[in-house]
Amino acid sequence: MPQTPVETNDRMSLRIASDDKLLLMRAAALQHTNLTEFVLRNVMSVARQIIDENERLALTERDSLRVLELLDNPPAPNDKLMAAAFAIPKQS
């Protein structure tokens, strides 16, 4: 498989048991790729999925309607909110 140039050449080292490395190398060989490409291809998709699951909030229909209602008709600010607003330093 031809190597594609990388704009930055950041490196990452990790310690791995010999048996685990052999397993990864075997899987990479079966997919006709090198170990780096194999690990990156598989780890990046899992990393994206983990980030998506943790940064996206799924609301029920009831919750979504409540958020929209609050955006259209926000409640009056309470004392804590007013105190927090006045505590923010003024920008000049």
Rounded to two decimals, what is the model's pTM?
0.54
Residue 32's pLDDT is: 96
Q: Indicate the helix (H) or strand (E) that contains 29.
A: helix 18-30
Does a structural domain hold residue 38?
yes
* Residue 3 clears pLDDT 90, i.e. is over it: no
Does a structural domain hold residue 26?
yes
* Residue 75 clears pLDDT 80, i.e. is over it: yes
How far is it, in rounded angstroms, from Cα 34 to Cα 65? 50
Mean pLDDT of 61-90: 94
11 confidence band (pLDDT: 50, 70, 90)? confident
Secondary structure of 47-82 in HEC code, one letter for each residue: HHHHHHHHHCCCCCHHHHHHHHHHHHCCCCCCHHHH
Contact partners, residue 34, CB within 8 Å, separation at least 6: 1, 28
Give the domain extent around 81.
Answer: 18-87
Does a structural domain hold residue 44?
yes
The per-residue pLDDT for range 13-50, each reduced to its tens digit, is 989 999 999 999 999 999 999 999 999 999 999 999 99
